[in-house]
Amino acid sequence: MAPSFTKNRIEAFSDGVIAIIITIMVLELKVPHAADHDNKAGAALTDLAPLIPVLLSYLLSFIYVGIYWSNHHHLLHATRKVTGGVLWANLHLLFWMSLIPFVTGWVGENHFAAAPMALYGVVLLMSALAYWLLQNTILRVDGNHSVLGRALGSDFKGKLSPVLYIAAIALSYVNTWLAGALYVTVALVWLIPDRRIERAISEDQGKRTEKH
């Protein structure tokens, strides 16, 4: 069956890119080594202190990329037909996600300063819009009465996130901790499992299995 084959390859490629994005971020955790500033060995636990904000920003971005991977997984699972438009909407999402390691590194190295925190929100916002665009492209191809259409329903989380990102971007210049708290909040909102798509899919599979 050719269409599912095409879908498989989009998934494989996306998995590859997302796997690299999520792992590249760890390269920002640079080993504190001997020759850095003086000739001391950099082998004490205290040498890791400057890495703590890098680790925290890595953790948050790891969760975000994980959420995107998980949602992307469910979204394409529910997809029936892949067109050139879907393919490019997917690449567009991967482009914005590929900037996450950069802004994560910038946030981490500058201990959550205002401009990096704001730019972090901009990249998350653009990723969210790209995801929304991908979702709508798929819906337009598959039709609103498809499994996906029923599953998404009101898409509350998808509509809430951009609003919170915009608030966090503005707040970055007021209080970076508030901005950070908003980023953590959005991550938590998404971590709560979205059972709607899963349920709709398993209902649909139930029906299809009965027909076989």
**Least Cβ distance, residue 155 to its own copies (angstroms):** 18
d(CA 135, CA 76): 9
Query: Applying CB under 8 A, does 20 fall inside the site for its own copies?
Result: yes
Q: Are 146 and 139 in contact (CB under 8 A)?
A: yes
180-193: b or e for each residue (b if 16 or more CB lie within 10 Å)?
A: bebbeebbeebeee
Q: Which of residues 38-77 bind its own copies (CB under 8 A)?
A: 41-45, 47-48, 59, 62, 66, 69-70, 73, 77
Query: Applying CB under 8 A, does 12 fall inside the site for its own copies?
Result: yes
**Least Cβ distance, residue 29 to its own copies (angstroms):** 5
**Paired tokens of 47:** 């040498």
Largest CA distance in the chain: 72
**Least Cβ distance, residue 31 to its own copies (angstroms):** 4
Question: Which of 106, 129, 160, 166: binder of its own copies (CB under 8 A)?
Answer: 106
Query: Applying CB under 8 A, does 189 fall inside the site for its own copies?
Result: no
d(CA 153, CA 161): 16
SS (H, E, C) 109-120: HCCCCHHHHHHH
Q: What DSSP line would sit under 43-59, residue for residue?
A: -SGGGGGGGHHHHHHHH
To the nearest 10°, report the CA torsion of 71, 97, 110, 42: 90
Q: Which is nearer to its own copies, 94 or 138 (CB)?
A: 94
Taking CB under 8 A as the rule, which mask of x and - marks residues 116-145 in contact with its own copies? Answer: x-xx--------------------------
Positions that interact with its own copies (CB under 8 A):
2, 5-6, 9, 11-13, 15-24, 26-29, 31-34, 41-45, 47-48, 59, 62, 66, 69-70, 73, 77, 83-85, 87-88, 91, 94-95, 98-99, 101-102, 105-106, 109-110, 113-116, 118-119, 191, 193-195, 198, 201-202, 205
